[in-house]
Amino acid sequence: MKPVFLIGFMGAGKTTIGKALSARLNKPVYDTDQMIERKYGKSISQIFELYGEQEFRKMETALLKEITEKSGIITTGGGIILTNENREWMKKTGDVIFLQCDFSSLWERLEGDHTRPLVYHRKKDEVESLYKNRLPLYLESATITIDTTDKTVEETVDEIIRRLNG
Ligand code: S3P
């Protein structure tokens, strides 16, 4: 099986759905943010604070290329689609599943979050424009798009499996 990348905006449930999908398919799951945190011994917030977003993006691209050598589920940070290099890499090496979700539902999960530097101290409008700017990139990157807005984790996993097999 080629790698399955889960992409989507912050709060879309990539990590949760990735774990459930991994259990159902009996495949390992890799999370780019967690691997970066482990590799550098720092939280994502600390990395943004100490080195800045650009440096984080370089780490993210390097890591993406390291993990796709294995087959499994890869849950990604919401900004993975920002570079052409990452988008092409994911499409070339695996299935890319976009977990689409209405901004209002995302915001319910994100509001007040202290762990995400691109949400912390930002107003709803600012985060919403980030979402709107990125939407075409998620759609362009995806080989499969799934609307998760009113679905449970199990329903989403069922649909992913069905679409992967279809
Ligand atoms: C980011 C999303 C985060 C994390 C970092 C930047 C983004 O991951 O990679 O804070 O640019 O959207 P999640 O999507 O898992 O929150």
We report the CATH number of the domain holding residue 136 as: 3.40.50.300
Strand partners, 30: 74
At residue 52, the pLDDT reads: 97
Task: Please indicate whether residue 13, judged by its CB atom, sits closer than 6 Å to ligand 1.
Answer: no
Q: What is the C-alpha to C-alpha distance for residues 76 and 137, in angstroms, rounded to an integer? A: 14
Q: Which regions of the chain are under pLDDT 50?
A: none
At residue 94, the pLDDT reads: 95
At residue 17, the pLDDT reads: 98
Task: Please indicate whether residue 94, judged by its CB atom, sits closer than 6 Å to ligand 1.
Answer: no
At residue 69, the pLDDT reads: 61
Dist. CA 32 → ligand 1 center (Å): 10
Q: How many domains does the chain have?
A: 1
Confirm whether 166 is domain-assigned.
no
Q: Give this prediction's pTM.
A: 0.97
Closest residue CA from atom 16 of ligand 1: 10
Confirm whether 84 is domain-assigned.
yes
Question: Given the CA of residue 15, which atom of ligand 1 is nearest to it?
Answer: 15
Confirm whether 165 is domain-assigned.
no
Confirm whether 116 is domain-assigned.
yes
- Using CA atoms, how far residue 63 sits from 54, 69, 71, 72, in Å, is 14, 11, 15, 15
Domain of residue 89: give its range: 4-160
Q: What is the C-alpha to C-alpha distance for residues 110 and 1, in angstroms, rounded to an integer? A: 33
Confirm whether 70 is domain-assigned.
yes
At residue 68, the pLDDT reads: 65
At residue 121, the pLDDT reads: 87
